[in-house]
Amino acid sequence: MENIFRKISAEKEIFRDERVLMPDYLPEVMPHREEQINEIAYALRGAAEGKKMENMLILGPSGTGKTSSVKYVLKQLQEYSQRVVPIYINCWESSTRHSILNSIAYSLGEFIPRRGISTDEITEKIGEILKKEKKAPVIALDEVDRLFTSQYEEEKVLYDLARAKELFSVDFGVVAITNSNEFLAKLDQRIKSSLIQKQLFFKQYSPIELKDILKSRAKLAFYSESLSEEVIPLCAARAAKNNGDARLAINLLWKAGKMAERENAEKVAEEHVRKAFEEVGGEELHEKLDGKEREVYDFIKEKGEVTSSELYEKFKDESDRSVRNYVTRLRSLGFITVEDTVGKGGKIRMIKIKK
């Protein structure tokens, strides 16, 4: 039985466990994604059975549960099969061919010295381990479109994976994830046919679906008495209007809870959600922007950060000059920050959403 004093003292608190609302929390249940999770598991099942799995591409807008669903399946696959080595890579974090191969080697238990070794050497090492250990690597490349934004053809790593059998004598299972609709158009036919045997689309969530998602998280995150009835429907409605983004819905719920906590309120109420929404920059902020500006803003927001060349590429119907003007205006309104850094190929302009 729960200690009664712990219970009494806890009753005054809003959160039971706010970690459940953090972006890196991996939910144990994912309402309205059972079908997609099954589809992914079906595609990957070959890997667990010592056969070839179906490589797949997962598409869909931000906050539709792509990353979490894939991580969920990879975790289960690892529990189920000793042979499989699941490797999750976010291509914003490892954005070069070299760093991706490095991560693969590392996941296979190979220590790569700091001084670094050449790509060929890493490739060789990976081949050696795989031959020796009879492992079946399954690699998820999240935000894979990032590989195409560099001038150094980092996307070549996709060729490496496509011809893994030649290169490493072992097939790699590949799950590519992207929210870019243009991704497929950038892929060469040969790669497409070997890396994408199946496509799965994740749709935006409806308000009802968002409500279920929030409910399942709120049960763990809040004490049962600390949410007023209208809070979840309101968070769901707001997020539904903003592209059905579950990330926003959960973030709103968390921020609303923090507002209530700060005010020492008994419960989280409607006003807290409204304030939270202002803080995350909802409607109000959006209203100041028009047409193309808003599109540019939404694109940067979706990515978190982009380089200027990515922006030019995305809005190539506009002149670079007018894209620069949008950036200048967004910056003067305080929505974004612009930072110049020097990369291998010269100056890189990073554009980020202001937090």
Q: Which residue, 247 or 294, is less far from Mg ion as judged by CB? A: 247
Q: Which residue, 304 or 343, is less far from ligand ADP as judged by CB? A: 304
Binding mask 114-153 for ligand ADP (x = CB under 6 A): ----------------------------------------
Q: Which helix (H) or strand (E) covers residue 84, if one does?
A: strand 84-90
Confirm if 41 and 74 have CB atoms less than 8 A apart. Answer: no
Binding mask 175-204 for ligand ADP (x = CB under 6 A): ---------------------------x--
Tokens matching residue 204: 């935006």
Contacts of 291 (CB under 8 A, 6+ apart): none
Q: Which residue, 126 or 200, is less far from Mg ion as judged by CB? A: 200
Q: Name the one range near ligand ADP by CB under 6 A: 58-66, 91-99, 131-139, 224-232.
A: 58-66
Q: Which residue, 67 or 242, is less far from Mg ion as judged by CB? A: 67
Confirm if 122 and 101 have CB atoms less than 8 A apart. Answer: yes
Looking at 55, 67, 81, 149, which residue binds ligand ADP (CB under 6 A)?
A: 67
The site that binds ligand ADP (CB under 6 A) totals a number of residues, namely 19
Tell whether residue 250 is a contact of ligand ADP (CB under 6 A).
yes
Burial of 2 (0-12, 13-18, 19+ CB in 10 A): exposed
Tell me how far apart the alpha carbons of residues 354 and 314 are, in angstroms, rounded to a whole number.
20
Q: Which residue, 122 or 175, is less far from Mg ion as judged by CB? A: 175
φ and ψ at residue 241, rounded to 5 degrees? -70, -25
**Cα angle: 305, vertex 112, 95; to 5 degrees:** 20
β-sheet with 346-353: strand ranges across = 305-307, 346-353, 336-343
Q: Which residue, 31 or 86, is less far from ligand ADP as judged by CB? A: 31
CB atoms within 10 A of CB 237: 16
How near is the Cβ of 250 to ligand ADP at its closest, in Å?
5
How near is the Cβ of 24 to ligand ADP at its closest, in Å?
8
Tell whether residue 257 is a contact of ligand ADP (CB under 6 A).
no
How near is the Cβ of 134 to Mg ion at its closest, in Å?
31
Buried b (16+ CB within 10 A) or exposed e, 43-70: bbbbbbeeeebbbbbbbbbbbbbbbbbb
How near is the Cβ of 144 to Mg ion at its closest, in Å?
11
The item of ligand ADP, Mg ion, none sharing an interface with residue 244, based on CB under 5 to 8 Å by kind, is none
The item of Mg ion, ligand ADP, none sharing an interface with residue 23, based on CB under 5 to 8 Å by kind, is ligand ADP
Q: Which residue, 171 or 245, is less far from Mg ion as judged by CB? A: 245
**DSSP-assigned states of every residue in 278-312:** HHTT-HHHHHT--HHHHHHHHHHHHHSEEEHHHHH
Confirm if 240 and 201 have CB atoms less than 8 A apart. Answer: no
Q: Residue of minimal CB distance from ligand ADP?
A: 65
Tell me how far apart the alpha carbons of residues 259 and 9 are, in angstroms, rounded to a whole number.
20
Q: Which of residues 22-41 bind ligand ADP (CB under 6 A)?
A: 23, 27, 30-33
The item of ligand ADP, Mg ion, none sharing an interface with residue 40, based on CB under 5 to 8 Å by kind, is none
Looking at 247, 274, 286, 294, which residue binds ligand ADP (CB under 6 A)?
A: 247
Token pair 């072992």 is found at 170
Chain positions contacting ligand ADP, by CB under 6 A: 23, 27, 30-33, 60, 62-68, 202, 213, 246-247, 250
